Amino acid sequence: IDTNIPKNKPKALNTALPTCRGEIVGVFDAEDEVHPRLLRLVEARFEEARADVVQSGVQLMNIQTSWWSLRNCLEYYFWFRSRLHFHADQRFIPLGGNTVFARTALLRSVGGWDRDCLAEDCEIGVRLSTRGARVAVAYDPKVVTREETPGSLRALVKQRTRWDQGFMQVYRKGEWRKLPSRRQRMLARYTLAMPFLQAATGALVPVAIACMFVLKVPVPLTLLSFLPLAPTLVTVAVEAAALGEFGKEFGIRIRLWDQVRLVLGAFPYQLLLAAAAVRSVWRELRGQGGWEKTEHVNAHRAGGREEAIAA
């Protein structure tokens, strides 16, 4: 029983770690829907890769609950299907806090999780990476752990604020500087500093809108300012293709309206992430490190969509 006050996830994990008797410790969130064949996949990955840590897949499922849930689900799809494999190959990986497995002796040797970090999963991933731990990714869409998106915009902003603030804490802690190669350190700096970049983007949006009406610039310079539109359009095209693949892999019918929502929601969703990043910087500067929990309504389970809408 976790008797820590105030409570948070890393404190609870550290309370449980001394009582674990198995060779490997796995972490799940309470609302998860876990596939019964997952552990076979994870065990095989430990053996094949001679891994110290195995990160398996997590997928948000309720793409049709709200306009932001669609993009939130796609984020997870890209992250666990592709991005984490890249991080594992580079021997620097900000672990997820869910469906992750590590050798018990290794967890105890590093003192468990950082009890004061808002992104304890990322933080322990960085520490293990600096110690040369071998991390493998086990992804199979058939056995991913299923979750849901936050049920409201407010909940989504709070969740992203916590993650962003946690990444900033890990960046400031500086453990990533112990990574052996310059390439790893550059990747770590870029990954952990992303909240700062998103916050800067959010702060510049109103300035950019004001400049549209106030400033007069030469036509060539105006045309030059449209260059970032090209990679943006390519990104949206890739996302549209990925949405179709997502539907095929998880047996969800992707409607034309879903594709329209994907395109129309691109800019508002980025503004939302930027707002959460600005909020995280503000909280960090004010020394506010409280754990803002995310409420759940089981929208990732059968019948959960109707419950989410009713809520």
Q: What is the mean pLDDT of residues 148-164?
A: 92
Question: Is residue 311 over pLDDT 60?
Answer: no
Tell whether 111 is covered by a domain.
Answer: yes
Tell whether 106 is covered by a domain.
Answer: yes
Q: Which residue has the tokens 């398996």?
A: 56
Q: What is the mean pLDDT of residues 4-24?
A: 93
**How much is the pLDDT for 215?**
73
pLDDT-based confidence at residue 294 (cuts at 50, 70, 90): confident
Q: Which residue has the tokens 């095989």?
A: 44
**How much is the pLDDT for 102?**
97
**How much is the pLDDT for 201?**
73
CB neighbours (10 Å) of residue 43? 14
**How much is the pLDDT for 308?**
38
Hey, what are 106's tokens?
Answer: 């290794």
Q: What is the mean pLDDT of residues 87-94?
A: 93
CATH classification at residue 45: 3.90.550.10
**How much is the pLDDT for 310?**
36
Q: Which residue has the tokens 């932001």?
A: 68
**How much is the pLDDT for 226?**
67
Instruction: Please write the tens of the pLDDT for every residue from 215-229.
Output: 777 777 766 766 666
Tell whether 68 is covered by a domain.
Answer: yes
Q: What are the φ/ψ torsions at residue 96 (nearest 5 degrees)?
A: -80, 160
Tell whether 58 is covered by a domain.
Answer: yes
Tell whether 159 is covered by a domain.
Answer: no
Tell whether 180 is covered by a domain.
Answer: no
Full domain range(s) for residue 62: 10-150
pLDDT-based confidence at residue 233 (cuts at 50, 70, 90): confident
Greatest mean pLDDT among 51-60, 151-160, 293-302: 51-60
**How much is the pLDDT for 206?**
74
Rg (CA), the chain: 20
Question: Is residue 307 over pLDDT 50?
Answer: no
pLDDT-based confidence at residue 59 (cuts at 50, 70, 90): very high
How many whole angstroms separate alpha carbon 42 and alpha carbon 125? Answer: 18
Tell me what percent of the residues of the chain surpass a pLDDT of 70.
91
Q: How many domains does the chain have?
A: 1
Q: What is the mean pLDDT of residues 142-159?
A: 93
pLDDT-based confidence at residue 309 (cuts at 50, 70, 90): very low
* CA distances for 43 relative to 14, 101, 138, angstroms: 23, 10, 10
Q: What is the mean pLDDT of the chain?
A: 88
Between 199 and 162, the higher pLDDT residue: 162
pLDDT-based confidence at residue 302 (cuts at 50, 70, 90): low
Tell whether 139 is covered by a domain.
Answer: yes
pLDDT-based confidence at residue 297 (cuts at 50, 70, 90): low
Instruction: Please write the tens of the pLDDT for every residue from 246-288.
Output: 999 999 999 999 999 999 998 889 889 989 999 998 999 888 8
Tell whether 138 is covered by a domain.
Answer: yes
Cβ contacts of 5-14, under 8 Å, gap ≥ 24: 6/290, 6/291, 7/291, 8/115, 8/291, 9/97, 9/113, 9/120, 9/291, 10/112, 10/113, 10/114, 10/115, 10/116, 10/117, 10/120, 11/115, 13/112, 13/113, 13/120, 14/112, 14/113, 14/115
What is the pTM for the complete model shown?
A: 0.85
- DSSP letter, residue 65: S
Instruction: Please write the tens of the pLDDT for every residue from 97-138.
Output: 899 999 999 999 999 999 999 999 999 999 999 999 999 999
Q: What is the mean pLDDT of residues 85-96?
A: 93
